[in-house]
Amino acid sequence: MDIINAVGRRKGAVARVYATSGKGNILINGRDIKEYFTQPHIQNKVLAPFVAIEADNVYDWKVNVRGGGFKGQAEAVRMAISRVLVKINEDFRGPLKAQKFLTRDARVVERKKYGKPKARKSFQFSKR
């Protein structure tokens, strides 16, 4: 089997995923998934596409991810893995789309405006 790749994005994070036939190992930035994402609920976000399609993981996954925080990175990896799974088998599209794993969530942090302490928060107003 050839290498199948896809890109996933979320917030400021960009994940590039490469799948090759193997035993189901997931390497993220050269480290194992349990070492890179130490919290179990974040690991579950990354592994959610495999649960959704109810299939055994018969591919080795090499992931390059940068930018954003750990939650944004995990969701970017999840999207990229979902896109690769759809490339492998078009039948996976339905369950993955139902869970919204193929939809790009474009929400990002709003920029800070001048004259304000944050994006929308204002300093206390005094009439007198």
DSSP 25-80: -EEETTEEHHHHS-SHHHHHHHHHHHHHHT----EEEEEEEESS-HHHHHHHHHHH
β-partners of residue 78 are none
Tell me the pLDDT of the chain averaged across its residues.
Answer: 93
Q: What's the CA gap between 28 and 21, in Å, rounded?
A: 17
* pLDDT at residue 57 in the model: 82
Angle, CA 9 vertex, CA 94 and CA 98 arms, to 5°: 15
Write the pLDDT tens digit of every residue in 5-30: 999 999 999 999 999 998 989 999 99
Amino acid at residue number 3:
I
Write the pLDDT tens digit of every residue in 51-62: 999 887 889 999
